[in-house]
């Protein structure tokens, strides 16, 4: 006897009510994206490593230490996708999707990041994703965010707010970054160890440090607003006024920066409100949906300058907020009380299922306990098929939940073939 292999760390097997919640998130996303006319796209789960390293940025945590990379048999370095955006951008360029631009794309599926697992964080996790490529107007940002907001409402998620910021255009962002480095460098010795490191690698991140030692200096740090060009400022104003017009509630988050290099202008996250029920369910993983504008990304992959904006949301995190969804009860349970009726029962369930009624057959195990077993599934209708003592067929039809779909049709179809005594219906 060999040992049973274990699942890979950070992967999960999802079943039952949790799987239903997962499916509910995906189904709702599919429904909403069609309302907004986002088109479905499917991309490979792995790409050449450079697709991600060039697009996301070599110095980011994702690229520098979280990628699942390996050499294939031809010696080429490949990587399991850690996010959707880079792969979508590559697909856009390699397939000439410019011809469809501006194009609204939606996808969902598994992603891989080598991280320490914890609540709401896995090594193989799943996201839904929406992107608008080839649209440089603030209207695109507004539509994308309205869709995200709409989706959360359709999912019934409460207590989550859109946190919105602008990073300005490339020049604004660089000027701001330089000012921040200068500001924090003066007090470098008093910063936390983490932030001293961030000062070199990713100074913007110091702004949302949780360490008290850093927060003292964050308050009077240079503000992005002071570095915005007129164009960048007008862009952001157009986004916020558009959101107001669309009825999307938002809050300005001056210190919100996104980790990846490619973001420009709009950056946003949907975050549970402090102390809300949603915040409690998520633990320390607070962001459920995040994204922004990435006007520089296509060029980093060798394409023509192409404005784009997008977001992604963790399906597992959304599913946690949605809560476990009960699996639907079976509509009709058919019990074979006597093995001689097995073929009749098979005929009955196949007829009912073809009518579009969910049906379960109980014909195994002790005949005596089949009825009880069927009872426990709490069916809408319980049909038993038995033999009388004289050997003639006998069946009954017990309704426990009158409102199941197609009940009258099902009863009519059933009784056209098998008699049911009046006293059992």
Which of 41, 89, 76 lies closest to 301 in space, CA to CA? 89
Closer CB to RNA, residue 354 or residue 369?
Answer: 369
Closer CB to RNA, residue 153 or residue 354?
Answer: 153
Q: Tell me the C-alpha distance between 178 and 170, whole Å.
A: 12
* Minimum gap (Å) between residue 212 Cβ and RNA: 11
Closer CB to RNA, residue 73 or residue 123?
Answer: 123
* Minimum gap (Å) between residue 409 Cβ and RNA: 22
* Minimum gap (Å) between residue 337 Cβ and RNA: 6
Closer CB to RNA, residue 98 or residue 286?
Answer: 286
Closer CB to RNA, residue 354 or residue 388?
Answer: 388
* Minimum gap (Å) between residue 308 Cβ and RNA: 15
* Minimum gap (Å) between residue 230 Cβ and RNA: 29
Binding residues for RNA (CB under 7 A): 3, 6-7, 9-10, 60-62, 66, 83, 113, 115-122, 125, 127, 194, 198, 202, 205, 209-211, 258-260, 269, 283-291, 312-314, 316-317, 337, 364-366, 368-369, 371-373, 375-376, 378, 384, 386, 394, 396, 398, 400, 424
* Minimum gap (Å) between residue 79 Cβ and RNA: 15
CA distances (Å), 335 to each of 111, 344, 365, 419, in order? 44, 11, 11, 16
Closer CB to RNA, residue 86 or residue 357?
Answer: 86
User: Taking the CA of residue 340 as centre, how many other CA atoms within 13 Å lie in the half-sphere pointing to its CB?
Assistant: 9
Closer CB to RNA, residue 328 or residue 368?
Answer: 368
* Minimum gap (Å) between residue 111 Cβ and RNA: 7
């Amino acid at each position: 006897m060999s040992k049973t292999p274990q699942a890979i760390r950070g992967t999960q097997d999802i079943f039952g009510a949790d799987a239903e919640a997962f499916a509910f998130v995906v189904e709702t996303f599919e429904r909403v994206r069609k309302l907004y006319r986002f088109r479905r796209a499917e991309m490979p789960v792995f790409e050449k490593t450079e697709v991600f390293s060039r697009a996301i940025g070599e110095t980011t945590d994702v690229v520098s230490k979280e990628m699942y990379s390996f050499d294939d048999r031809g010696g080429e370095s490949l990587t399991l996708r850690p996010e959707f955006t880079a792969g979508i951008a590559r697909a856009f360029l390699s397939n000439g999707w410019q011809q469809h631009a501006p194009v609204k794309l939606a996808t969902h599926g598994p992603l891989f990041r080598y991280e320490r697992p914890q609540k709401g964080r896995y090594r193989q996790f799943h996201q839904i994703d929406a992107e608008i490529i080839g649209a440089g107007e603030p209207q695109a940002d507004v539509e994308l965010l309205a869709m995200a907001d709409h989706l959360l409402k359709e999912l019934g998620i409460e207590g989550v707010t859109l946190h919105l910021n602008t990073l300005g255009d490339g020049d604004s962002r660089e000027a701001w970054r330089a000012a921040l480095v200068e500001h924090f460098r003066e007090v470098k010795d008093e910063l936390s160890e983490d932030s001293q490191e961030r000062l070199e690698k990713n100074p913007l991140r110091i702004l949302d440090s949780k360490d008290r030692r850093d927060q003292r200096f964050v308050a009077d740090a240079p503000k992005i607003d002071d570095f915005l060009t007129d164009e960048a400022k007008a862009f952001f104003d157009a986004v916020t006024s558009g959101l107001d017009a669309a009825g999307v509630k938002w809050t300005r988050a001056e210190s919100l920066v996104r980790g990846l290099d490619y973001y420009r202008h709009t950056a946003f996250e949907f975050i549970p409100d402090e102390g809300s029920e949603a915040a409690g369910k998520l633990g320390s993983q607070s962001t459920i949906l995040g994204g922004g504008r990435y006007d520089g990304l296509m060029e980093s992959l060798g394409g023509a300058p192409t404005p784009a904006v997008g977001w992604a949301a963790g399906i597992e995190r959304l599913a946690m907020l949605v809560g476990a969804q009960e699996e639907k009860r079976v509509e009709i349970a058919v019990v074979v009380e006597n093995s001689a009726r097995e073929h009749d029962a098979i005929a009955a369930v196949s007829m009912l299922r073809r009518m579009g009624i969910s049906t379960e057959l109980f014909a195994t195990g002790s005949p005596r306990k089949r009825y009880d077993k069927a009872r426990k599934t709490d069916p809408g209708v319980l049909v038993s098929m038995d033999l009388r003592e004289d050997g003639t067929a006998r069946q009954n039809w017990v309704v426990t939940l009158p409102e199941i779909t197609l009940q009258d049709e099902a009863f009519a179809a059933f009784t056209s073939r098998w008699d049911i005594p009046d006293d059992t219906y």
